[in-house]
């Protein structure tokens, strides 16, 4: 990915997940913006997008962070929002276990409170431990937690899977978390 794509992707993450107001962009209740509005409003921001550049970012993004509507007229972030939007995801049966990558400095707090969503809409869980490792490394010395998702589901807790394959839930109580031995 070239530099322009990376900068555009970061800018699109900012305005589609957190600060659409920064460039005067309007998202609908489900987080969709018109591609034409994103192009026009980007003139108020640090990266000047074109429709072609947006399509490149969607196609080349390493985590498929952005989704276009089938007619290509609308775009939204697949997950990771801090602003209040309804991703209109349907609750799904999770796999038996999922993983959460975090940093060692958070472990004592997680043992007490469980996994909380903080600024995001959901707690994010990964399908495989490699992905969780990469998520954890962003915060410090990584620790991979195993989450007993099937037990949670049996206990009536809901799970959602985002358009880019990240599993989402509201809160993970400590009793459903397996911590590594040391």
Helix/strand/coil (H/E/C) assignment for every residue in 18-68: HCHHHHCCCCCCCCCEEHHHHHHHHHHCCCCCCHHHHHHHHHHCCCCCEEE
The greatest distance separating any two alpha carbons of the chain, rounded to the nearest whole angstrom, comes to: 53
Q: Could you give the dihedral angle defined by the CA atoms of residues 94, 99, 101 and 105, in that order, rounded to the nearest 10 degrees?
A: 110
Rounded to a whole number of angstroms, the minimum distance from the CB of residue 65 to ligand HQG is 5
Nearer Cβ to ligand HQG (40/157): 157
Q: Could you list the residues that contact ligand HQG (CB under 6 A)?
A: 63, 65, 80, 102-103, 106, 109-110, 113, 115-116, 118, 120, 124, 135, 139, 166
Nearer Cβ to ligand HQG (19/120): 120
Rounded to a whole number of angstroms, the minimum distance from the CB of residue 43 to ligand HQG is 25
Nearer Cβ to ligand HQG (38/166): 166
């Amino acid at each position: 990915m070239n530099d322009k794509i990376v900068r555009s992707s970061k800018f699109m993450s900012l305005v589609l997940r957190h600060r659409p107001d920064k460039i005067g962009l309007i998202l609908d209740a489900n987080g969709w913006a018109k591609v034409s509005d994103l192009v026009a409003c980007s003139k108020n921001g640090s990266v000047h997008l074109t429709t072609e550049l947006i399509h490149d970012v969607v196609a080349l993004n390493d985590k498929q962070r952005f989704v276009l509507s089938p007619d290509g007229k609308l775009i939204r972030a697949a997950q990771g929002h801090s602003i209040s939007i309804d991703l209109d995801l349907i609750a799904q049966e999770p796999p038996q276990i999922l993983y959460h990558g975090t940093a060692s400095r958070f472990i004592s707090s997680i043992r007490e409170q469980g996994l909380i969503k903080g600024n995001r809409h959901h707690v994010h869980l990964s399908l495989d431990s490699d992905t969780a490792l990469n998520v954890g490394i962003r915060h410090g010395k990584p620790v991979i937690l195993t989450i007993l998702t099937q037990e949670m589901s049996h206990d009536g807790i809901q799970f959602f899977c985002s358009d880019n394959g990240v599993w989402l839930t509201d809160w993970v109580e400590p009793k459903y978390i397996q911590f590594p031995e040391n």
